[in-house]
Amino acid sequence: MHMRNHILISLGLVVISAVLLGVSYPSLSWWPCAYVGLIPWLIVLKRSRSNREAMWFSLLMAVIWHMICLSWLGSLGTLPVVGGWLAVLALTLFVTSSYAILGLMVR
């Protein structure tokens, strides 16, 4: 049960961090959230039990964050809806792969 609680708390902190960073970008411009957006992620990195766990939580945080930031690409009029969201997903995975390495370095 303890491991399950650890994972759920870490997932919650990762989502909070990603949402705080996502809403700080110009589409919503809640820029003060950027000052505290990385704190939950850093807590997750500090609490992680292994490098692999830190890497996966970092990647998850970055994917959620960039999906929020790049969501406008999915609704472009020139792309079909499905194609637009596939492009967002592909771009997100490409851009966020470096965050897994960053998570290992910060840990």
pLDDT in tens, 26-62: 777 788 998 999 999 999 999 999 989 998 999 899 8
Q: How far apart are CA 29 and CA 34, in angstroms?
A: 10
Does the model's pTM come out above 0.85? no
* Residue 77 binned pLDDT confidence (cut-offs 50, 70, 90): low
Name the CA dihedral angle for 71, 64, 39, 1, rounded to a multiple of 10 degrees.
150
Angstrom distance (rounded) from CA 41 to CA 89: 21
